[in-house]
């Protein structure tokens, strides 16, 4: 079956995956104390979907209660219609009225080793002041604010200050290039940019402010830049009088009180760009009410959060995982969040384990790619540390191979911690498929079942459910509160990308999946032109456009090739323009070009030069065949090729090249 084949090609390890028969029931001692102990939530959701989400919405404070839970005119959904609330109020004000005022909201450690603790009281004060700063600069309800920052507490302050005013934020990951930053700022038409003089990354300095200056050369909407001093003297930067302002200066003068703006449930909370199947990233729009209900409820259910926990989600706030499970979900729940600025191998490979021991982290949520790196580095880095505080482990971002799952469970979880493998996307806003740690029997490598209230199916290309054991497309067949509402500035793309392939009622995820005979879901990776490199979504087309933008390149085809640690690695097949000599450093030159255009995360691991690319008769490059070559597999169907000899030659050349 074509679509099954497509899905399997996305993750060739699937056959092995599917042979996995080990099962791990929830530990009874976990279940007794768990937030969710039985199947009641699933049953309630089946019985009355709206009633179920209405009950979940009781976990949020509303200024005005909603009139209707759901208005669904496919593919457009409105949740908690008529309700009013404020996301920052839910993360702060309602906690500071209780004993939680003096509870740690954020425990932070910087890469060089500094520590800061902000209680809910502290965070409430900083956010209120910073909201006044933004107001003073003319930011009002509905204005967009761009953030390009390191993982420091001020990033959380900035996010919540925007939410307090009802100004949608758009965070751009600090690893993106000035050009990517510019594209996102312009797409959102941001009025203010918040950044830092720089950030620390493996002992060196990321020149964030310099990148902002470069980006802003082409961003007419931006009026002001606010700069957090993170580095100080050690960084060179220009200060643009009139446009640039020091964060600390503005904060010195800011008044303490700033009421939280009542927002409609459907008012946008933020825009977050993600790669799609064209060169232009999509600005995914999340709104306030449904999103807050979705992330707070899933954070309670999936992570079993308790007041005494210290929750560490290792994602950068530049990605959706950081938005939903570093900031909005945990803080709405009054949890203590641990936040770390740096990377896992700096200054040495035991940094994370040292952190877990030092702060007594109880819940760790990270990506399979990190786990595979740790496996490669060896257990000795882990064994030196006492990880007995951990009680629950999570993963997200890509399929986890059973071997990595077992390693995580044994060496990090000490054999006692349940693992929640959570499947979701920027677009879904919240976790959609995951075990509930006190309820679900897990199988290594399977994300198990849709959460209560969520319905997922695996379908063939006509939208019919496939029998268990066959591959197909993963679709979501019911609306959910935290779903994206649109693509910013491009509502047609919302419909065409997500709700056309299988009709307006069925959300197409872009992922392949299988269901086994026990109905467990096994995710197989993307079936579209999106790569997943170290848990990050990168569009093949975006990298191709960066390559053809280089003066020497005539044509380029990019694929994600499976990679033992990163999940996928970017591989490029490039045809140079006639007359351009193939010099030794051409590949490096092109890699640098991609870094400059997009950012280091999109850097091709391998560039292969070829005189021709395999194309269909209508001129479409057949990436699928290139992937077969790069992964050393037998070639798939080649009948649609215009000239089958091209691919045969390419394979021989590629293999010779690999040998030499």
- Where do contacts with ligand WTA occur on this chain (CB under 6 A)? 274, 319-321, 396-399, 421-426, 447, 509-511, 523, 525-526, 532, 537
How many beta carbons lie within 10 A of that of residue 628, not counting itself?
A: 20
Q: In whole angstroms, what is the distance from residue 530 CA to residue 562 CA?
A: 13
CB of 534 to ligand WTA, least distance (A): 11
Torsion of CA 459, 463, 464, 466, to 10 degrees: -20
Q: Which is nearer to ligand WTA, 92 or 482 (CB)?
A: 482
Q: Which is nearer to ligand WTA, 437 or 525 (CB)?
A: 525
Pairing of strands 204-206, 115-119: unpaired
- Is the Cα torsion angle 18, 23, 24, 25 positive or negative in sign? positive
Greatest C-alpha distance within the chain = 73
CB of 422 to ligand WTA, least distance (A): 5
Tokens (6 digits) for 113: 């080793």
Tokens (6 digits) for 177: 């290039």
Angle formed by the axes of helices 49-56 and 40-47, nearest 10°: 130
CB of 305 to ligand WTA, least distance (A): 18
CB of 190 to ligand WTA, least distance (A): 21
Q: Which is nearer to ligand WTA, 207 or 435 (CB)?
A: 435
CB of 171 to ligand WTA, least distance (A): 13
Q: In whole angstroms, what is the distance from residue 586 CA to residue 318 CA?
A: 32
Q: Which is nearer to ligand WTA, 396 or 543 (CB)?
A: 396
CB of 284 to ligand WTA, least distance (A): 8
Q: In whole angstroms, what is the distance from residue 635 CA to residue 418 CA?
A: 40
Q: In whole angstroms, what is the distance from residue 488 CA to residue 4 CA?
A: 32
How many beta carbons lie within 10 A of that of residue 467, not counting itself?
A: 11
Tokens (6 digits) for 176: 């993106």
Q: In whole angstroms, what is the distance from residue 615 CA to residue 625 CA?
A: 10
Q: Which is nearer to ligand WTA, 396 or 607 (CB)?
A: 396
CB of 621 to ligand WTA, least distance (A): 22
Tokens (6 digits) for 329: 């979900």
Q: Which is nearer to ligand WTA, 290 or 322 (CB)?
A: 322
435 close to 393: Cβ distance less than 8 angstroms: no
Q: Which is nearer to ligand WTA, 164 or 323 (CB)?
A: 323
CB of 427 to ligand WTA, least distance (A): 7
**Backbone conformation region of residue 332, classed left if phi is above 0, alpha if psi is from -120 to 50, else beta:** alpha
CB of 81 to ligand WTA, least distance (A): 27
Q: 539: burial class by Cβ within 10 Å (0-12, 13-18, 19+)?
A: buried
Pairing of strands 456-459, 486-487: unpaired
Q: Which is nearer to ligand WTA, 53 or 508 (CB)?
A: 508
Q: In whole angstroms, what is the distance from residue 60 CA to residue 58 CA?
A: 5
CB of 400 to ligand WTA, least distance (A): 7
569 close to 563: Cβ distance less than 8 angstroms: yes
CB of 423 to ligand WTA, least distance (A): 4
Closest CA to 314 of 277, 351, 281, 358: 351
Q: Which is nearer to ligand WTA, 199 or 512 (CB)?
A: 512
CB of 187 to ligand WTA, least distance (A): 17
Q: Where are the beta strands (DSSP E) in 541-641?
A: 553-563, 567-576, 606-609
Closest CA to 222 of 131, 132, 144, 134: 144
603 close to 591: Cβ distance less than 8 angstroms: yes
Q: In whole angstroms, what is the distance from residue 411 CA to residue 353 CA?
A: 11
How many beta carbons lie within 10 A of that of residue 15, not counting itself?
A: 9
Q: Which is nearer to ligand WTA, 77 or 400 (CB)?
A: 400
CB of 261 to ligand WTA, least distance (A): 28
Q: Which is nearer to ligand WTA, 323 or 593 (CB)?
A: 323
635: DSSP letter = P
**Distances 129 to 117, 157, 159, 261, 336 between C-alpha atoms, Å:** 18, 9, 13, 14, 22
Q: Which is nearer to ligand WTA, 10 or 36 (CB)?
A: 10
451 close to 432: Cβ distance less than 8 angstroms: yes
Q: Which is nearer to ligand WTA, 299 or 537 (CB)?
A: 537
Residues in the chain: 660
CB of 315 to ligand WTA, least distance (A): 8
Pairing of strands 104-109, 84-85: unpaired
CB of 537 to ligand WTA, least distance (A): 5
Q: Which is nearer to ligand WTA, 20 or 122 (CB)?
A: 20
Q: Which is nearer to ligand WTA, 110 or 481 (CB)?
A: 481
């Amino acid at each position: 079956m074509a679509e099954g084949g497509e899905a399997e090609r996305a993750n060739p390890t699937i056959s092995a995956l599917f042979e996995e028969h080990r099962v791990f029931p929830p530990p009874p001692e976990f279940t007794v104390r768990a937030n969710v102990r039985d199947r009641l939530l699933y049953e309630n959701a089946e019985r009355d979907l709206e009633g179920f989400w209405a009950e979940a919405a009781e976990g949020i404070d509303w200024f005005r209660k909603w009139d209707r839970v759901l208005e669904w005119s496919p593919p457009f959904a409105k949740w908690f219609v008529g309700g009013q609330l404020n996301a920052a109020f839910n993360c702060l004000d309602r906690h500071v009225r209780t004993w939680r005022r003096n509870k740690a909201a954020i425990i932070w450690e910087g890469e060089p080793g500094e520590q800061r603790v902000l209680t809910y009281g502290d965070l409430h004060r900083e956010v209120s002041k910073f909201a006044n700063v933004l107001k003073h600069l003319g930011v009002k309800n509905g204005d967009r604010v761009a953030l390009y920052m390191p993982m420091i507490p001020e990033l959380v302050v900035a996010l919540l200050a925007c939410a307090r005013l009802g100004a949608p934020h758009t965070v751009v990951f600090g690893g993106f290039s000035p050009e990517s930053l510019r594209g996102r700022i312009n797409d959102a038409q941001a009025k203010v940019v918040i950044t830092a003089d720089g950030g620390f990354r493996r002992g060196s300095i990321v020149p964030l402010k310099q990148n902002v200056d470069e980006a802003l050369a082409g961003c007419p909407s931006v009026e002001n830049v606010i700069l957090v001093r993170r580095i100080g003297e050690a960084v060179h930067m220009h200060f643009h009088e009139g446009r640039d302002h020091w964060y600390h200066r503005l904060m010195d003068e800011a008044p303490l009180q700033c009421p939280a703006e009542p927002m409609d449930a459907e008012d946008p909370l933020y825009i977050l760009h993600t790669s799609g199947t064209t060169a232009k990233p999509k600005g995914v729009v999340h709104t306030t009410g449904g999103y807050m209900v979705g992330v707070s409820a899933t954070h309670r259910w999936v992570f079993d959060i308790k007041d005494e926990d210290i929750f560490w989600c290792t994602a950068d706030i530049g990605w959706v995982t950081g938005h939903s499970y570093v900031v909005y979900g945990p803080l709405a729940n009054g949890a203590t969040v641990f936040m770390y600025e740096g990377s896992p191998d700096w200054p040495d490979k035991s940094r994370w384990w040292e952190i877990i021991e030092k702060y007594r982290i109880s819940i760790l949520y990270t990506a399979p790619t990190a786990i595979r790196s740790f496996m490669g580095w060896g257990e000795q880095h882990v064994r030196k540390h006492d990880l007995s505080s951990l009680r629950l482990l999570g993963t997200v971002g890509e399929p986890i191979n059973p071997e990595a799952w077992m390693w995580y469970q044994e060496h990090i979880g000490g054999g006692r911690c349940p693992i929640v493998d959570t499947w979701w996307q920027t677009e879904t806003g919240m976790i959609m498929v995951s075990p509930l740690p006190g309820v679900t029997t897990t199988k290594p490598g399977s994300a198990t079942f849709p959460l209560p209230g969520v319905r997922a199916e695996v379908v063939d290309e006509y939208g019919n459910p496939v029998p268990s054991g066959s591959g197909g497309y993963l679709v979501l067949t019911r609306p959910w509160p935290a779903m994206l509402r649109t693509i910013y500035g491009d509502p047609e793309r919302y419909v065409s990308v997500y709700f056309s392939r299988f009709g307006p009622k069925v959300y197409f995820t872009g992922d392949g999946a299988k269901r086994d005979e026990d109905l467990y879901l096994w995710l197989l990776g993307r079936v579209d032109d999106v790569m997943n490199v170290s848990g990050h979504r990168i569009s093949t087309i975006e990298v191709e456009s960066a390559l053809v933008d280089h003066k020497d390149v005539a044509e380029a085809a990019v694929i994600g090739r499976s990679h033992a640690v990163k999940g996928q690695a970017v591989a490029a097949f490039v045809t140079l323009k006639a007359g351009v000599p193939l010099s030794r450093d051409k590949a490096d030159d092109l890699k640098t070009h991609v870094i400059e255009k997009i950012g280091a995360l999109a850097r091709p691991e391998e560039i292969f030069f070829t005189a021709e690319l395999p194309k269909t008769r209508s001129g479409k490059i057949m990436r699928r065949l290139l992937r077969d070559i790069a992964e050393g597999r037998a070639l798939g169907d080649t009948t649609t090729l215009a000239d089958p000899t091209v691919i045969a030659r390419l394979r021989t050349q590629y293999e010779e090249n690999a040998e030499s």
